[in-house]
Amino acid sequence: MTTNITKLDDYVISGKFDIQASFKPDKESKLSKVVTIRFNLVNVPLKDVITSSLRDKRIDTVNGQLRKNFDKYTNKQVVEVDYKSPATSIMTREERIDILTVNFRKAGLPEVEAQKLATKAVDNPEVIQ
């Protein structure tokens, strides 16, 4: 289902959003750690989330397409830019469980144990590391 939202100020987001990040104690260090940063969003305007996530795309568009073709555009013109997610598709919970179950079975786990472990991994990713 696709929903066209034209007034972003009318929508807010609440929930948890996890992003993995790696970091070093300093630039020269060979040591690094990977952590999951969990953002707790509480009534955050959708406009703020989208504007922030598209900031780099806006800069790339201005420095590339727009600057190169400056004379093609008029002041206050609306310029449409296609944006596609890097992810090709989003799997359902059941699809993720099925894929993990198959992989656990290939690793030699019995069907029931593989199914339980796959479900646990999908439902509680912080528990399985």
Spell out the domain ranges in the chain: 1-50, 89-129
Q: What is the mean pLDDT of residues 10-39?
A: 86
Residue 122, judged by CB atoms within 10 A of its CB (0-12, 13-18, 19+), counts as buried
For the chain, report the end-to-end CA distance as a whole number of angstroms: 33
The pair of structure tokens assigned to 42 is: 């509480």
**What's the pLDDT tens digit per position in 66-106?**
999 999 999 998 888 887 766 666 778 898 899 999 999 99
Q: What is the mean pLDDT of residues 22-44?
A: 87
Residue 121 three-state SS = helix
Cα(33)–Cα(36) distance, integer angstroms: 10
pLDDT above 80: residue 54: yes
Cα(116)–Cα(127) distance, integer angstroms: 13
- The pTM of the full predicted model, rounded to 2 decimals, is 0.46
List the one residue out of 91, 126, 97 whose CA is nearest residue 18: 126
